[in-house]
Amino acid sequence: MKSPAPADAAGLPAFWVRDFITLAAIWGSSFLFMRLAVVEFGALATAGMRVGIAAAFLLPVLLWQKQAQMLRQHWKPVMVVGLLSSAIPFALYAFALQSISTGLSAILNATTPLFAAVVAWLWLGERLNHWRSMGLVLGFAGVVVLAWDQARLASHGGMEIWAVLACLGACISYALATSFTRLHLSQVPALVTATGSQIGAAVGLALPMAWSWPAQMPSAQAWLAVGAVGVLCTGVAYLLFYRLIGQGHPSRTLSVTYLIPLFAVAYGLVLLDEHVTLAMVAGGGVILLGTALATGLLQPPRAP
């Protein structure tokens, strides 16, 4: 008889915890690789290359799993998800990373579950109790702290505040994609949605990428960076993400958003010599607390 896998204090298998931390580390590095690529490729070309490479990586896996027919059946909603979950947010983050640090962009990315709760409330009619409503208020207060800090410190013609708004726009796009997927693709295999969405995003960004392609050929470092963000941070990360969900812990898997900023900030400090401000620490902490309450991940104890 096969012995069960060792578990941590929360009752999760050790291999699940390992994959969870690996996913956070991979997605945390996406901000670093995009920052390195966008300097030479530009925002639209970086986003277009990212989804194109990811689609080329995932398509053989889809064919190997014999799920191409399923993609053909659901191609229209899958393409919409591709625009909302990849094309639009990837382009917005690439734009933002030209002006703000990788750490700040990752902290703002942690508001995605916050916006997802709002969209689900407005679109799907999900109820928000007292604590979840308080979490929304706290989370947005943290965003205001960060936005105010960037507006105060703006030194490039005010581009920092536009970069913050671009990150928040990307999070809203992610949130819309989440509710749309729940409405139209809940019964579709995850690999089909992941692969089809990247194909749809690549189609949507094809013309903008061609129009904005850099006049000078990017360096080998930029090509390696865009290759890493496409294969590792998108293709491999999607496979790992959906494997974690498939192991029966979807709500816990979504909490990876809270761990990503730790890796992104560390990469920025060590590899890009970025700095962490007090406002980033304070605003980030308030955002994480508010998001944990708004999504129900953190449940205050009930009175006896």
- For 212, the 3-state DSSP assignment is coil
Nearest-5° angle of CA 230, CA 231, CA 233? 70
Place of tokens 């670093």: 32
Q: Which backbone phi and psi does 13 adopt, to 5 degrees?
A: -60, 145
Which residues, in sequence order, are CB contacts of 231 under 8 Å at separation 6+? 53, 54, 57
For the chain, the domains span 14-294
**DSSP-H helix ranges across the chain:** 14-41, 43-64, 68-73, 75-82, 88-96, 102-109, 112-119, 130-153, 159-184, 190-211, 220-230, 237-246, 250-254, 256-271, 278-294
Which residues, in sequence order, are CB contacts of 45 under 8 Å at separation 6+? 209, 212, 213, 214
Average pLDDT over residues 121-141: 82
pTM of the predicted protein model: 0.86
Average pLDDT over residues 165-172: 94
Q: Are 217 and 88 in contact (CB under 8 A)?
A: no
Question: Tell me: the pLDDT tens digits for 174-193?
Answer: 989 988 988 888 888 889 99
Residue 217 DSSP code = P
pLDDT for residue 211 is more than 90: yes
Q: Which of 47-56, 130-139, 163-172 has the lowest mean pLDDT?
A: 130-139
